[in-house]
Structure 1
C-alpha cells in the first residue's frame, strides 16, 4: 500500500505509549493498533486532528505517500 502510517515513529519521538495516546484521544486501543500497523482502510479527519493535537505534529508527520516499487497502484473504482 502506498500510504505509510508513521504513528509508531511519532510515539517514539514523544516517548508515549499507544495506551496513553488511546486514553488521551478517546479512541480504543484496538482501533489505534489497526491504524499503527497500517491495516486501516481510512481515517477520519477528526481522528487525525486529535492525533496531531496530542502528538504536537502535522498530518504529514503521521501519513506518508510512497508509490509501490513495481509502479502499480491499487485504485478502487466506484
Structure 2
C-alpha cells in the first residue's frame, strides 16, 4: 500500500532515471540536423577535435552531447540504425 503511494508520488526508479537523462537526449536531438550535414571526412575531423579537447583538459561531460550525436549519425550511416 505504502509502496504504491510512494511510487505514484515519486515515480519508479526507471521513470526518475529517464527524467534525469531527458535533457541530454533533447540536446543530442537538437544537434542532429547539424551533424547530419557533415560528410564522412568532417566527422573524422570532429573525432580528432574531441581527442584534442580531452587532451587539453576538457572533461568527458564537455564533449558528451556532441560526441553522442556524432556516434548516432555514424551508426545510422554504417549499420542503418538510429540509436536512442
TM-score by length of 1: 0.26
Q: When you count strand as a share of all residues, which structure comes out higher?
A: 1
- The structure carrying a bigger helix percent of its residues is 2
Does 1 or 2 have the higher relative contact order (CA < 8 Å, sep 6+)? 1
After TM superposition, the score normalised by the length of structure 2 is 0.25
